[in-house]
Amino acid sequence: MVITQKIEHFNSPLYLESGRILESYDVAYETYGELNSDKSNIIVVFHALTGSQHAAGRYDGDVKTGWWDPLIGDGKVIDTNKFFIICANILGGCNGTTGPMSINPSTKEPYRLKFPVITISDMLRAQQNLFARLGFTTAHAVIGGSLGAMQALCCSIEYPDFAKRIICLAGTYATSPWAISFNKIAMDGIINDPQFEKGQYEKDAFKEDGLLGLALGRMAGHISFLSPYSMRHKFDRNYVDTDGLYELFGRFQTERYLEYNSYSFSKRFDPLSYLYIIKAMNIFDAARNYESLKDSFSSIKAKMYLIAFKGDLLFLPDEMEFMRDTLYELGRKDMTEYICVESDYGHDAFLVEYEKFDFYIKKALE
């Protein structure tokens, strides 16, 4: 599999939905496979909240593969022998694309809390500018899960001629109060941590020890990504072997899991980026600038593939079903496929239980 890693710099201004402007910006991206002569084999992959442009493969010296490596590669479901895949880091991220810790060209200092609030539409606009620079204006398909599904849905509405197929996994048409509430825990944990220093921390301040407030917020996130069933299956009531049951701070396996994943995450992800991205998620509503969701969906031309997961407690299957029913009302029944995958894993099933849905993606791409 041929992998490339690049960063494109844009000197032309990016006009944001808020009315603010980024005078210049960078977009980091990776590609997999080779572009064919007529550029008809392009698949755009949008990453989720804490993902990055590194969707597949393994860097030299790195033990961890890309976040969707089981699906992307030679001979895999998203086959790099057939397709040219591109995945860009979102605006506001911390993996090479311009975000709050990037240098403001006007002040020569990091933006920090002076970075503008961004939306899913802003993220998509920056990526569309990238695609245009790379010389393609259409794609065989776009695909994304969770926040990536928000981007895919937004693409179908705002750029209706861009893709022939839109594949949304574990998505929604608008972030619910339930999901916003989990994000609130993370937001308050970060901004009330004294080490956050009101955003004035040094760039690599948390590389070794992490930020406690971000770790605690991420714990809440991890709970929302799983389900009572998957947690029972993974951990049951098992206790950590080295901890005493009658030690006050002795831990159940589920507690150790939350500690390990959340504290390690807080060492590698920028807390300001996390704040800006969850704000963009909270704002997301596909009908916000329209009369109704039906009005919003009326511009869609692509065939829509909506893949929900039965055990998803963050973005409920009901929300995907409402999207399906709205498309049906618009007379797009033949251009809409809805699947609810039998899964008790929870929201993160689209990152884990590949064998339960990969054939739906393969069918959609064919």
Give the pLDDT of the chain (366 residues) as one tens digit per residue. 889 999 999 999 999 999 999 999 999 999 999 999 999 999 999 999 999 999 999 887 777 899 999 999 999 999 999 999 999 999 999 999 999 999 999 999 999 999 999 999 999 999 999 999 999 999 999 999 999 999 999 999 999 999 999 999 999 999 999 999 999 999 999 999 999 999 999 989 999 999 999 999 999 999 999 999 999 999 999 999 999 999 999 999 999 999 999 999 999 999 999 999 999 999 999 999 899 999 999 999 999 999 999 999 999 999 999 999 999 999 999 999 999 999 999 999 999 999 999 999 999 998
Partners of 10 in the β-ladder: 25
Phi, psi values for residue 24, rounded to 5°? -150, 165
**Residue 300 burial (CB count, 10 A):** 20
Q: How far apart are CA 88 and CA 163, in angstroms?
A: 16
- 244: helix, strand or coil: coil
- Residue ranges of domains in the chain: 3-176+286-365, 179-279
194: nearest Cα among 219, 177, 207, 211: 211
Q: How far apart are CA 33 and CA 36, in angstroms?
A: 10
Q: How far apart are CA 122 and CA 21, in angstroms?
A: 11
Q: How far apart are CA 147 and CA 283, in angstroms?
A: 12
- Per-residue pLDDT at 192: 97
What type of residue is 106?
S
Which residue numbers are catalytic? 146, 312, 347
Kindly give the residue spans of alpha helices, DSSP state H, lying in the chain.
Answer: 120-134, 147-158, 177-191, 212-225, 228-235, 253-268, 271-283, 293-297, 317-329, 358-365
β-pairing, 303-309 vs 336-341, is parallel
Predicted TM-score of the model (pTM): 0.96
Using an 8 Å Cβ cutoff, are 87 and 141 in contact?
Answer: no
Q: How far apart are CA 242 and CA 251, in angstroms?
A: 9
String of DSSP letters for 293-343:
HHHHHTT--SEEEEEEETT-SSS-HHHHHHHHHHHHHTT-GGGEEEEEE--
Using an 8 Å Cβ cutoff, are 34 and 10 in contact?
Answer: no
CATH number of 3-176+286-365: 2.160.10.10, 3.40.50.1820, 3.40.50.1400, 3.40.50.150?
3.40.50.1820
- Domain 179-279 fold is Rna Polymerase Sigma Factor; Chain: A (1.10.1740)
- Per-residue pLDDT at 61: 76
